[in-house]
């Protein structure tokens, strides 16, 4: 029993990442009708926002410290970050320690900007082109973005730690009456799940309860009619693209402490996210989220030793297997709408 709960928990954080990326993909697909293969790259750029902010905050200058001596007896030079000069030493190091949560604030404008530039500069010209062309051009864009990041940050993963306060693990089992240390779970993953839930909730609330969201939903249902009513739907959709980019970016920022960011992390997630979107049903937001968590949890169940003993190798293929079965039995995915991508 405790093993099962542990696997569910393990699946949740990966599932949250899938759900967040798939949510953005579906938003873009539902609003603009564009299949965006560069979405994984946006996730990756988000993670590198965290890296960048960490580096910016750690920018330092050398100061001669008279109290410390090196082995020759000369005064030691120490690196002092600029933030320490501005905010004092205690606050300064706390800021550096908290660079990942701070990167959330930093990444939102950056990601929205990147998203809007991408939409206005490139995607806009591909609305009327076939889906194959959209896939190909965004695939090319993903390669370019990935290579640029590789040029700047190198090919090795860059460790980006979470704040010290969250480094431990949470003994979840005790709450449910199991032995101590039976079900332990790192704090940061718990936070990741909560964060993902908040973001997903916020996106849904935004679409459901604001006028802007209402217009966007109307535009998703019937773009032309909304345009005929005198609403500039294109601008709204551009903003939605920026928003989707920000969601992917935030997913990436928060994922940085879980897995050290490297330049191909986006591609690794992209393939799975597409499977998630298709399983959930193209164009269905709840479907994307549900499928994200479902596949994340299934994946971690399949990697249990008990399961692997019965079906060797199942952990490697479970997601694809589920996707194939669902696509063949429910052609529109779990919650797909009629009339979306039927051709």
Partner 1 sequence: MLGLGKKDITLFAVVAVLALFAPFILNPFPAGSSLAQFNAGYPDLMQRFVIFGIFAIGFNILFGLTGYLSFGHAAFLGAGSYSAVWMFKLLSMNVIPAILLSMIVAGLFAVVIGYVSLRRSGIYFSILTLAFAQMSYNLAYSVLTPITNGETGLQVTLDDPRVLGQTATADGGIPVTNLFGLEMRHFTTLELGPWQFQFSVGYYLCAIIMLISFYLAIRIFRSPFGMMLRAVKSNQQRMFYTGLNARPYTLAAFVISGMYAGLAGGLMASMDPLAGAERMQWTASGEVVLMTILGGAGTLIGPVLGAGFIKYFENIFSKINDQILHGWVAWLPDGLEDLVVALIHPFVGKGWHLTLGLMFMLIVIFLPGGLVEGGQRIARSLRRRKSTDDGKSASTEPAE
∠ CA 269-272-274, nearest 5°, is 105
Judged by CB under 8 A, the residue of 125, 159, 179, 202 near partner 1 is 125
Which of 35, 50 has the CB closer to partner 1?
Answer: 35
Phi-psi region of 154 (alpha: psi -120 to 50; beta: other; left: phi over 0): left
Q: Does residue 116 bind partner 1 (CB under 8 A)? A: no
Judged by CB under 8 A, the residue of 66, 224, 306, 343 near partner 1 is 343
Q: Does residue 323 bind partner 1 (CB under 8 A)? A: yes
Judged by CB under 8 A, the residue of 72, 90, 309, 328 near partner 1 is 328
- Both tokens assigned to 186: 């790192």
- Both tokens assigned to 42: 């946006």
Judged by CB under 8 A, the residue of 68, 151, 167, 225 near partner 1 is 151
Residue 235, number of CB atoms within 10 A of its CB: 9
3 state SS for 312-342: CCHHHHHHHHHHHHHHHHCCCCCCCCCCCCC
- Kindly report the backbone phi and psi dihedral angles of residue 334, in degrees, each rounded to the nearest multiple of 5, phi listed first: -60, -50
Which of 64, 144 has the CB closer to partner 1?
Answer: 144
Residue from 270, 255, 259 nearest 103 by CA: 255
Q: Does residue 324 bind partner 1 (CB under 8 A)? A: yes
Judged by CB under 8 A, the residue of 148, 165, 198, 205 near partner 1 is 148
Q: Does residue 85 bind partner 1 (CB under 8 A)? A: no
Counting every residue written for the chain, the total comes to 343
Q: Does residue 140 bind partner 1 (CB under 8 A)? A: yes
Q: Does residue 121 bind partner 1 (CB under 8 A)? A: no
Contact set with partner 1 (CB under 8 A): 35, 122, 125, 129, 131-133, 135-137, 139-144, 146-148, 151, 267, 271, 274-275, 278, 282, 312-313, 316-317, 320-321, 323-324, 327-328, 331, 341, 343
């Amino acid at each position: 029993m405790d093993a099962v709960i542990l696997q569910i928990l393990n699946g949740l954080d990966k599932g949250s990442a899938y759900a967040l990326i798939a949510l953005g993909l579906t938003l873009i697909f539902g609003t603009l009708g564009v299949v965006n293969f560069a979405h994984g790259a946006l996730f990756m750029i988000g993670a590198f926002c965290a890296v960048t902010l960490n580096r910016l905050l750690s920018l330092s200058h050398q100061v001669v410290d008279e109290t410390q001596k090196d082995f020759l007896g000369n005064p030691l030079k120490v690196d002092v970050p600029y933030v320490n000069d501005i905010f004092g030493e205690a606050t300064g190091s706390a800021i550096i320690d908290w660079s990942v949560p701070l990167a959330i604030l930093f990444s939102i404008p950056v990601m929205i900007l990147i998203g809007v530039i991408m939409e206005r500069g490139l995607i806009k010209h591909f609305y009327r082109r076939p889906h194959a062309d959209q896939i190909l051009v965004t695939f090319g864009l993903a390669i370019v973005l990935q290579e640029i990041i590789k040029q700047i940050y190198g090919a090795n993963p860059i460790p980006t730690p979470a704040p010290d306060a969250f480094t431990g693990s949470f003994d979840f089992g005790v709450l449910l009456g199991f032995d101590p240390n039976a079900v332990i779970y790192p704090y940061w993953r718990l936070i990741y799940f909560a964060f993902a839930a908040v973001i997903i909730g916020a996106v849904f609330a935004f679409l459901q309860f604001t006028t802007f969201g209402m217009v966007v939903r109307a535009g998703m249902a019937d773009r032309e009619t909304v345009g005929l009513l005198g609403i500039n739907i294109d601008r709204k959709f551009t903003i939605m693209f920026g928003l989707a980019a920000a969601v992917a970016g935030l997913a990436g920022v928060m994922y940085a402490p879980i897995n050290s960011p490297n330049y191909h992390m986006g591609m690794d997630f992209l393939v799975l996210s597409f499977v998630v979107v298709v399983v959930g049903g193209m164009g269905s937001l709840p479907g994307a989220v549900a499928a994200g968590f479902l596949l994340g949890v299934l994946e971690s169940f399949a990697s249990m030793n008990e399961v692997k003993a019965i079906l060797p190798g199942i952990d490697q293929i479970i997601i694809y297997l589920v996707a194939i079965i669902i696509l063949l039995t429910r052609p529109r995915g779990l919650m797909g709408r009629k009339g979306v991508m039927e051709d």
